[in-house]
């Protein structure tokens, strides 16, 4: 499996991503050809080799031939206009799909912040030529590399304020925060904006995971340079292309957090209720395991699996709902089957089943309990009979 990993040591922006992809080996002609499909008027792409804190890389920017025309340079573009421009172009399906999705992510964030319908959003910074170029070029560059997965390091922004078309906003900018909802985001002690809304949308669109770089047989390394010089920190985005040789290429992968705590002074009624609360809160799994604790007290080990995005929510629930004074955490890489819900026809009516696939082949089939329970109540048949009918139908139906 070939993985493209972005190390966001100084955040991420659109132009830094294009620069990193260029330094990684994507030909300048790939970017120029993609932008030539859009009716953007006169422009030139510049790829300049520079240094940031003694790290050599590519600084990318777009030169607008009309930039001295004040009226043209400050032209705003509506989301609907940008969407129509991309849809009506001859860009590849890959570039079209992801560029439209990136702009949609930004438009949704702006609409939420300013309290307006998505289609009424008018872009300012992101509507400018250079930002349209950034997004389309990033999509074209990632397509050209042909990686199986794109991953990112943990994201961290700076602090302070940033000037926008709407005024002075805190860092992270409101749009950046909204776009990265559900993705872990921290801050570091740098008094600048490090993650732009465009960079956030690129990460949200392509990021398969956010964390440490997996074990890779590295093929190429590239550096995209930001414009600002940051004292004591190289303002670069590092891109690493490599092959992951840990096996399991046919399975889906992700990372989950395991949370554990020992409990010896809580009634079974409450611990049982806590399991339900954890699952309702979004935990992937929650279990209780009997164990012998200090002073020979019988107790239980509470184990919860969850996604990183809801870790704090899970921790809050454990501390509030149990007698725990502390929790233990570790992160686990998980292999899993692709999941697909289907319906099968049985003598008891339509029943939903869950299929598990690897490399497009069905490996597992399991009846959905709630669908079976509803069929049992509807027909008066025992659940055992419903399950047998589902397995038979799923097998006959080309499982």
pLDDT digits (tens, 9 = 90+) for 172-203: 989 999 999 888 899 999 999 999 999 999 99
The percentage of the chain sitting over the pLDDT mark of 90, rounded to a whole number, equals 58
Judged against a pLDDT cut of 50, whether residue 86 lies above it is answered with: yes
Region 122-128 average pLDDT: 59
Helix, strand counts (H, E) of the chain? 12, 19
**What is the pLDDT averaged over residues 80-89?**
90
What's the token pair of residue 99?
């560029």
Q: Which residue has the higher pLDDT, 248 or 331?
A: 331
Lookup: tokens for 362: 């069905």
Closest CA to 52 of 280, 277, 228, 265: 228
Q: pLDDT at position 397, please?
A: 43
pLDDT value of residue 231: 87
Surface-to-core class of residue 17, CB atoms within 10 Å of its CB (0-12 exposed, 13-18 middle, 19+ buried): buried
| pLDDT over threshold 80, residue 116 | no
Half-sphere exposure for 303 (CA within 13 Å, toward CB): 11
Higher pLDDT pick, 146 / 127: 146
How does pLDDT run across 309-330, given as a tens digit for each residue?
A: 889 999 999 999 999 999 999 9
- What does DSSP say about strands 155-157 and 185-187: parallel, antiparallel, or unpaired? parallel
Per DSSP, 214 falls in state: P
> What band does 232 get if pLDDT is binned at 50, 70 and 90?
confident
Q: Quickly state the pLDDT bin for 67 (edges 50, 70, 90).
A: low
Ramachandran region, residue 133 (left: φ > 0; alpha: ψ -120 to 50; beta: rest): alpha
Averaged pLDDT for residues 370-397: 87
Say if residue 4's pLDDT is above 70. yes
Q: How confident is the model at residue 95 (pLDDT cuts 50, 70, 90)?
A: very high
pTM of the complete model: 0.64
* pLDDT above 70 coverage of the chain, percent: 92
Is the Cβ–Cβ distance between 179 and 109 less than 8 Å? yes
What's the CA gap between 230 and 236, in Å, rounded? Answer: 10
Q: What is the mean pLDDT of the chain?
A: 88
Residue 252's pLDDT band (cuts 50, 70, 90): confident
Backbone angles phi, psi at 158, to 5 degrees: -85, -150
How large is the average pLDDT for residues 288-308?
91
Q: In this structure, are residues 168 and 139 in contact, taking their beta carbons and an 8 Å threshold? A: no
pLDDT at 398: 41
Domains of the chain: 2-243 (no CATH), 252-336 (3.30.70.1380), 338-396 (3.10.20.300)
Question: What whole-number distance in Å separates Cα of residue 52 and Cα of residue 58?
Answer: 10
Asked whether residue 127 carries a pLDDT value surpassing 50, the answer given is no
Structure tokens at 116: 């307006």
Q: Say what the pLDDT of residue 80 is.
A: 85
d(CA 129, CA 169): 23
Q: What is the mean pLDDT of residues 217-242?
A: 94
pLDDT of residue 399: 38
Averaged pLDDT for residues 255-273: 92
């Amino acid at each position: 499996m070939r993985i493209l990993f972005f190390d966001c040591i100084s955040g991420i922006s659109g132009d830094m991503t294009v620069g990193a992809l260029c330094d990684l080996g994507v030909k300048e002609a790939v970017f120029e050809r993609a932008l030539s499909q859009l009716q953007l008027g006169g422009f030139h792409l510049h790829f300049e080799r520079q240094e940031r804190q003694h790290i050599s890389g590519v600084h990318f920017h777009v030169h607008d031939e009309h930039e001295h025309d004040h009226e043209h340079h400050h032209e705003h573009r509506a989301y609907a206009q940008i969407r129509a421009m991309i849809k009506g172009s001859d860009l590849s399906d890959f570039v079209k799909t992801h560029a439209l999705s990136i702009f949609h992510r930004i438009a949704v964030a702006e609409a939420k912040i300013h309290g307006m319908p998505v289609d009424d959003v008018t872009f300012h910074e992101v509507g400018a030529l250079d930002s349209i170029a950034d997004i389309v070029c990033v999509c074209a560059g990632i397509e050209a590399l042909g990686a199986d997965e794109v991953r990112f390091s943990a994201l961290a922004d700076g602090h302070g304020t940033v000037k926008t078309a709407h005024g002075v906003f805190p860092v992270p900018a409101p749009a950046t925060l909204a776009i990265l909802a559900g993705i872990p985001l921290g801050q570091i002690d740098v008094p600048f904006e490090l993650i732009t809304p465009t960079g956030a949308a690129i990460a949200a669109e392509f990021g398969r995971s956010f964390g440490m770089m997996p074990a890779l047989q590295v093929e190429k390394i590239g550096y995209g340079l930001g414009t600002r010089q940051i004292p004591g920190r190289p303002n670069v985005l590092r891109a690493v292309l490599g092959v992951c040789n840990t096996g399991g290429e046919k399975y889906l992968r992700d990372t989950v957090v395991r949370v554990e705590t020992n409990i010896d002074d809580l009634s079974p009624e409450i611990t049982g209720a806590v399991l339900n609360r954890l699952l309702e809160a979004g935990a992937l799994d929650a279990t209780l395991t009997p164990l012998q604790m200090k002073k020979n007290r019988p107790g239980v080990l509470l184990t919860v699996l969850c996604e990183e995005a809801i870790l704090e929510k899970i921790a809050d629930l454990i501390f509030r709902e149990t007698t725990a004074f502390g929790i233990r955490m570790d992160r686990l890489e998980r292999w899993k089957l692709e999941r697909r819900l289907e319906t099968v026809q049985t003598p008891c009516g339509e029943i939903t089943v869950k299929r598990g696939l690897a490399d497009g082949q069905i490996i597992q089939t399991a009846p959905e309990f709630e669908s079976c329970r509803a069929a049992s109540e509807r027909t008066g048949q025992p659940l055992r009979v419903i399950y047998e009918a589902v397995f038979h139908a799923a097998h006959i139906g080309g499982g």
